[in-house]
């Protein structure tokens, strides 16, 4: 049996809480495209797991609240439970499909309301995130273990202040088992802040063991690439693709024995 709680943002303290979802017979009845703007917490008493599920269109702030609420829910029902991200799996992954088919029912978890909050608890959950630089190879392993959002393409990846881009590699030069995408190191970000306002980016922050592994910038596959304005001179094809006289070309490179005195000629015209 699985219990599902929806994370909600409210206008007064504590500003976020949960309500238990009571309709539906299976998990798949709730995790639908219609609810893609919602954040859910799934409590599975059989496996002692709390799954966080962030709808593809859910607000970033609500996702943050959902992660905090998941930690509070674990503290409330027992430390033997562990929090796992359901968004790690693609929609056709066997693990994800198995969870979708689980029945809904009652369990030991209860909703988190205003009475469950205290200043100490709130500060603790915010202080758990570390920002030290992870080892690159391990960070990439953790990042790539998460499935990419459907219909989105990753453009940039930022790890420990270094930014990478994805370059498509022709399939003919790939060996068996290699991916057609290759991360290309572009360089380190400068001190200060970086504001991405040129495209409609969707940002994904990957966290493992309370440490930020990297920041991914995605665009929707349907987004058109901005038109590049060519500012260099253009030579029309007909200017160089037609046959010409080779003798005239050779004559053009011939240096005459003497050159006319241009300055003297100009002086005579003026007088």
Question: Within a domain: residue 267?
Answer: no
If asked whether residues 144 and 192 sit together in one domain, one would say yes
| Cα–Cα distance, 172 to 162 (Å, whole number) | 29
Task: Tell which of 127, 151, 184 closes a domain.
Answer: 127
User: Which run of H or of E encompasses 65?
Assistant: helix 60-77
If asked whether residues 140 and 83 sit together in one domain, one would say no
pLDDT for the residue 196 = 65
The dihedral over CA atoms of 187, 140, 100, 16, expressed in degrees to the nearest 10, equals: -60
Residue pair 86/51 in contact (Cβ under 8 Å)? The answer is yes
Question: Within a domain: residue 263?
Answer: no
Instruction: Identify the top-confidence range among 57-71, 107-121, 242-256.
Output: 57-71
Question: Within a domain: residue 42?
Answer: yes
The dihedral over CA atoms of 143, 70, 2, 53, expressed in degrees to the nearest 10, equals: -40
Task: Tell which of 103, 127, 151 closes a domain.
Answer: 127
User: The pTM is what?
Assistant: 0.60
% of the chain with per-residue pLDDT over 90? 28
Q: Average pLDDT of 36-62? A: 92
If asked whether residues 122 and 237 sit together in one domain, one would say no
Task: Tell which of 65, 95, 127 closes a domain.
Answer: 127
What integer best gives the mean pLDDT of the chain? Answer: 78
If asked whether residues 164 and 229 sit together in one domain, one would say yes
For 178-215, letters b (16+ CB in 10 Å) and e give: eeeeeeeeeeeeeeeeeeeeeeeebebebebeebbbbe
Query: Who wins on pLDDT, 211 or 96?
Result: 96
pLDDT for the residue 98 = 95
Question: Within a domain: residue 262?
Answer: no
Pairing of strands 49-54, 16-20: unpaired
If asked whether residues 119 and 190 sit together in one domain, one would say no
**Which residues form the domain of 46?**
2-127
């Amino acid at each position: 049996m699985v219990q599902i709680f929806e994370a909600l943002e409210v206008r007064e303290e504590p500003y976020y809480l949960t309500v238990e979802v009571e309709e539906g017979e299976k998990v798949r009845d709730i995790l639908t495209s219609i609810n893609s703007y919602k954040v859910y917490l799934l409590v599975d008493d059989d496996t002692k797991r709390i799954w966080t599920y962030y709808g593809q269109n859910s607000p970033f702030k609500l996702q943050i609240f959902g992660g905090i609420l998941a930690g509070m829910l674990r503290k409330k029902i027992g430390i033997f439970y562990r929090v796992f991200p359901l968004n790690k799996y693609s929609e056709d992954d066997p693990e994800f499909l198995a969870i979708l088919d689980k029945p809904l029912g009652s369990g030991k978890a209860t909703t988190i309301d205003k009475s469950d909050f205290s200043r100490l608890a709130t500060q603790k959950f915010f202080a758990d995130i570390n920002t030290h630089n992870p080892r690159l190879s391990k960070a990439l392993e953790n990042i790539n273990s998460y499935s990419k959002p459907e219909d989105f393409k990753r453009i940039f990846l930022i790890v420990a202040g270094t930014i990478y881009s994805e370059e498509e590699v022709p399939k003919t030069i790939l060996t068996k088992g290699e991916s057609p995408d290759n991360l290309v190191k572009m360089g380190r970000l400068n001190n200060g802040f970086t504001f991405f306002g040129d495209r409609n980016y969707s940002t994904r922050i990957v966290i493992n063991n309370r440490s930020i592994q990297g920041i991914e910038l995605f665009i929707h596959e349907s987004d058109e690439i901005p038109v590049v304005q060519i500012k260099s001179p253009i030579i029309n094809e007909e200017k160089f693709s037609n046959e010409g006289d080779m003798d005239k070309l050779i004559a053009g490179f011939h240096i005459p024995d003497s050159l006319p005195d241009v300055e003297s000629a100009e002086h005579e015209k003026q007088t």
